[in-house]
Structure 1
Amino acid sequence: MQPHNRRTFLALGLLTLTAACTGSHRHDPDGGDQRPDPDQPVRLRAVAATDTLLAAYDALLAAPGAQTALLQPLRAETARHRAALTAGTPSTPSTPPPTTTSPTTPPTPTTPAALAVLERQTAQSRLADLGAAGPPLARLLASVAAANALHAAALGAPAEPPAPAATPTPTGTTPGTSAPALQKALSAEHAAVYGYGVVGAHLPEDQQRTDARTAYAAHQSQRDAWQRLLTTLGATPTPAAGGYRLPFPVTDPAGAVKLAAHLETGLTTVYADLVADLPAPHRPAAATALRDCALRAHRWGAPDTPFPGIPDPTDPSPTPTTPTTPTT
């Protein structure tokens, strides 16, 4: 990986944006107007899939020789996913119903490897529902799907090959209001491409540098995909900024690894927001980018979170704000 031939810096503000709340205002706790929830069918499917996962975790934890240290934290995160998916929907049970079987119920996994497969299948089912969900729920589903992918990795699933950068095909229903969100994602990818130049320049010739090259190419590809889409929409893609500021000094391999983890973690926020901002047919591309960034952040040693890219909807503590304007 060749570093850029001009001096540039990576802006923290381009990669860590304050996420919007995913809450809903359908229910008046004082007994006032309660409108039907258009997301209810999607929520019910998502909750049912989560209940299946919870039952699988419980079955494995009850088995002799259960890997408790591995399974219990993942099960706890899955329960938090359920709580977030049922928030604001009083008609949805707040606790999982008794496990039942039917011809369509998948068999209960009996090994962590089988549970990893179920986690990946659940992630795909959430992405399949993105188009039917309102923007806040779509954002939550994309985040939880990324968490499912992280769970599969923790359970020992082989690494997923990076998905090719997807350029959604514009349609006549694509609103022009998508352009600012796409420009923001493009700006973040410009920063990531440069950032990985810094990362690669400080890593020795080993597996980490190979991983950095792979990530560098993936971000170049995603950058190019957003540029093509913006051009097709009639917008002029935002060029790379003339100067960005690194969030911290990078002078050795440890700093390079820390920067790579920072880059990917920041991009999960960008892509979670983009899922909510894009029209329904184009959300899977942003959700896939969110998943891939979350998995790369994990491989670089970033702490996993129950909700990649968004604040925990089940945590009442206020969200800290971060700067959003780069210093040039």
Structure 2
Amino acid sequence: MPAPTRRSFLALGALGGLHLLCGCTDEHDHTPGKAAEDADRPVRLRQVAATDALLADYTAVLAASPADADRLGDLRDDVLQHREALARSLPASSPTAGAGTARSVADLAAAERRTAGLRLADLTAASPALAKALASVAASGAAHAAALGDTGPLTDDGASPSPAPVPLPTADADALQSALAAEHAAVYGYGVVGAFLPVGPQREDGRAAYAAHQARRDAWQRLLGTGGVSPTAAAPGYRLPFQVKDAATAAQLAAHLETQLTAAYADLCATTALRPQAAAALRESALRAAHWGADLPALPGLAPTDPAPAAS
């Protein structure tokens, strides 16, 4: 990773460019009507049932491992929020009581991973708004599984970008341009992060993240190009959200970068052709954010004022 000097960092940080990752919010919200709500009903019912099974596993493991109550209780609270998000527009109901199949924390971690894979399996069947929620819940589930010790793959979810349609639909191109702009900022930000991380595992983690964001940036540029759209160029400079002065603040910046990227990729999940790639990118950013110490919300990438994008 190129390591800018402290002097060059301060000079570049003072440039009047865009705010870091500005615009990576819910600007591309879709509000489906009654038809989309009805079409989503089978998906929502399936996903609520899967969530209830996961909640039953939490109940079983909490009963068997009371020493893990604090840690597992926080994760279970997230799963309850997942259920609320997925059950929106359905008649009000409580989690279905049942006997969980998990008997240990390892079993629970595997259940989280499997359930996250089920979210991804329904991406293409969902409306744009529900697809955002599914991708966010899947990212959270992957983070739960990792926190509990299971880092296995969720599914073959199209993490490698495939050729874009020609021409690329306008809505898809706009969301992809926003994601590309966010990746430009992330590449710049990780250049700053690398200048302040000490030699060793932390710096290697920074290098790996820097390379991953370069690769993702390049992939989005290729997709836009093959879709007949001119890719957004990087800004001349980016204003950092706070001053980076040591390894601790460098890690905070990395966590901030990844957290902001989850919003861009939640928006990209509302597209039609790019959902699998967007969901994979959302999950990777959520996992990196947690790795750098971010306190992930139950629904990564979704606005905190809106529990879940839902049919109105």
TM-score scaled to structure 2, two decimals? 0.87
CA distance in 1, matches of 2:167, 2:54: 36
**Contact (CA 8 Å) 1:11, 1:247: kept in 2 or not?**
no
Paired letter, 1:17: C
Deviation at 1:25?
Answer: 5.8
Q: Quick one: percent identity of the two aligned structures?
A: 51
2:303 corresponding residue in structure 1: 311
2:40 corresponding residue in structure 1: 39
2:184 corresponding residue in structure 1: 190
DSSP 3-state at the match of 2:164: coil
Q: Cα distance 1:159–1:247, how it changes in 2: closer, same or farther (>3 A)?
A: farther
The question of 1:124 aligning with 2:117 is answered: yes
The question of 1:2 aligning with 2:15 is answered: no
**Contact (CA 8 Å) 2:102, 2:108: kept in 1 or not?**
yes
DSSP 3-state at the match of 1:38: helix
Q: Cα distance 1:175–1:201, how it changes in 2: closer, same or farther (>3 A)?
A: same
Deviation at 1:84?
Answer: 1.2
Paired letter, 1:116: A
2:294 corresponding residue in structure 1: 302
Q: Cα distance 1:258–1:36, how it changes in 2: closer, same or farther (>3 A)?
A: closer
- Counterpart mapping for 1:18-97 below 5 A: 18-19=25-26, 26=34, 37-63=38-64, 65-90=66-91, 94-97=93-96
Unaligned runs of 5+ in 2: none
2:211 corresponding residue in structure 1: 217
CA distance in 2, matches of 1:24, 1:246: 36
Deviation at 1:312?
Answer: 4.2
How far does the alpha carbon of each residue in 1:26-78 deviate from its partner, in whole angstroms, 9 at most, with x for none? 4xxxxxxx996110111111111101100100111122545111111111111
DSSP 3-state at the match of 2:239: coil
CA distance in 2, matches of 1:86, 1:151: 20
Deviation at 1:165?
Answer: 5.9
Paired letter, 1:259: L
1:155 corresponding residue in structure 2: 148
1:138 corresponding residue in structure 2: 131
**Contact (CA 8 Å) 2:167, 2:228: kept in 1 or not?**
no
How far does the alpha carbon of each residue in 1:232-284 deviate from its partner, in whole angstroms, 9 at most, with x for none? 001111111112111111121111111111100000011001111x21x4201
DSSP 3-state at the match of 2:170: coil
What number of residue pairs does the alignment pair up?
A: 298
The question of 1:285 aligning with 2:292 is answered: no
**Contact (CA 8 Å) 2:18, 2:239: kept in 1 or not?**
yes
Greater helix percent: which structure? 2
DSSP 3-state at the match of 1:143: helix
Q: Cα distance 1:225–1:248, how it changes in 2: closer, same or farther (>3 A)?
A: same
TM-score scaled to structure 1, two decimals? 0.83
